[in-house]
Amino acid sequence: MSNSQLKSVRLVARASEDVQRTIQMAAEYSGATVSQFLIDAAISKATAVIDQSRNIHLSLEEANTVFAILDNPPPPNNAFLAAAKKYKKGDINRESSKSRNGTPPNEA
């Protein structure tokens, strides 16, 4: 996508003079403008935060516990059996297909 096809929006941030000087110096050292430097830093941090929130991090012990439960699941309890019965009757599908105002999406 070329630059002429990209839409620009303005991002504004307030910072102390010390922070501004540090960012300006880092931008100069990296050969970027302050705007380029800030955008690169922000997108790197944003991507890392998003990636981290999408992943489940387990220790080896925790992972082994999950696998053991998957290999040997506990017997179904009453709540599970009731939910399975409701699902088989189709009650759950109708409820989950309703929009926030209570009508099915195609009737909203």
Q: Render pLDDT for 2-55 as a digit per residue (tens, 0 to 9).
A: 555 677 888 899 999 999 999 999 999 999 999 999 999 999 999 999 998 888
Residue 108 pLDDT > 50, yes or no?
Answer: no
Q: Encoding tokens for residue 45?
A: 């941090």
* Host domain of residue 68: 60-107
Examine the domain organization and report whether 12 and 49 are in the same domain.
yes
Euclidean distance between CA atoms 92 and 90, whole angstroms: 6
The answer to the question of residue 1 being in a domain is no
pTM of the shown model: 0.50
Q: Can you give the pLDDT at residue 90?
A: 84
Euclidean distance between CA atoms 58 and 14, whole angstroms: 38
The answer to the question of residue 41 being in a domain is yes
* pLDDT per residue as tens digits for the range 88-98: 988 775 555 55
Q: Is 29 left (phi over 0), alpha (psi -120 to 50) or beta?
A: alpha
Euclidean distance between CA atoms 2 and 37, whole angstroms: 20
